[in-house]
């Protein structure tokens, strides 16, 4: 779990450095950190496949949203650096790292016998709790809109500049379709005008009922 936390912390740090200084190595390090953290969470959630249930294992892991993000990170790793594609991962990592610090790291590093315990328990931990409770849902909502209304248009433009392949926007649309179909979080944000690519290659608005 420590490596999972380090993966998320590294994702945030390397993303910030890349956005500020545009170093290709920092982009690559951010992607590696993303692959590490998502690989760990998938391993913890699903383990390794048994010989007698490989098909069931593959079916189960492929409908896991973390698998979709890991595969997406692999695509970004093979593409030319694009700063905007790191933002969703970095946003998720901020809250994963903050929650880990609040529940695991600080209580372990600063036990009740430590002279800094009062500060950590009355200032730092409540601050991290307030941060997560106040901003996590809002930021996840912003990420959902970012993926649809910012990253996707970016990719379409980059097709014509040669920065991404012609297939990249279509792959990303399939990722968005998966997110819409299997993520309660996305549906909760009511993408009433979200357009997804249908099987016949046409775009249409997706409507869903409101309870």
Whether 131 is covered by a domain: the verdict is yes
**What does pTM read for this prediction?**
0.81
Tens of each residue's pLDDT in the chain, 211 residues: 889 999 999 999 999 999 999 888 999 999 999 999 999 999 998 888 777 778 888 888 888 888 889 999 999 998 889 999 999 999 999 999 999 999 888 888 888 777 777 787 788 888 999 999 999 888 988 888 888 888 999 999 999 988 888 899 999 988 888 877 766 666 655 454 444 443 444 444 444 444 3
187 falls within a domain: yes
Give the count of beta carbons closer than 10 Å to the beta carbon of residue 184. 7
CA–CA dist 52, 74 (Å, integer) = 28
Do 206 and 180 meet the contact criterion of CB atoms below 8 Å apart? yes
In a domain, 41, yes or no: yes
Q: Within a domain: residue 211? A: no
First to last CA, the chain: 38
Asked if the structure places residue 210 within a domain, the reply is no
Range of the domain at 25: 2-205
Residue 175: other Cβ atoms inside 10 A: 19
Domain total in the chain = 1
Domain assignment of residue 144, yes or no: yes
């Amino acid at each position: 779990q420590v490596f999972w936390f380090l993966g998320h912390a590294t994702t945030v740090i390397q993303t910030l450095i890349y956005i500020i200084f545009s170093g290709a190595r920092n982009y690559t390090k951010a992607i590696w950190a993303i692959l590490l953290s998502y690989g760990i969470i998938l391993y913890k959630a699903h383990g390794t496949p048994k010989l007698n249930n490989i098909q069931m294992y593959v079916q189960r892991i492929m409908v896991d949203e973390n698998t979709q993000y890991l595969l997406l990170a692999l695509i970004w790793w093979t593409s030319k650096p694009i700063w905007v594609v790191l933002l969703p991962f970095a946003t998720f990592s901020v809250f994963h790292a903050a929650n880990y610090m609040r529940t695991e790291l600080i209580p372990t590093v600063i036990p009740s016998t430590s002279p800094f315990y009062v500060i950590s328990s009355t200032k730092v931990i409540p601050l991290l709790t307030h941060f997560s409770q106040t901003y996590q849902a809002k930021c996840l909502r912003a990420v959902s809109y970012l993926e649809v209304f910012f990253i996707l248009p970016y990719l379409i433009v980059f097709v014509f500049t040669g920065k991404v392949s012609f297939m990249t926007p279509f792959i990303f649309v399939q990722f968005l379709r998966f997110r819409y179909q299997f993520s309660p979080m996305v549906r909760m944000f009511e993408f009433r005008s979200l357009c997804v690519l249908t099987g016949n290659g046409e775009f249409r608005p997706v409507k869903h009922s409101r309870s």
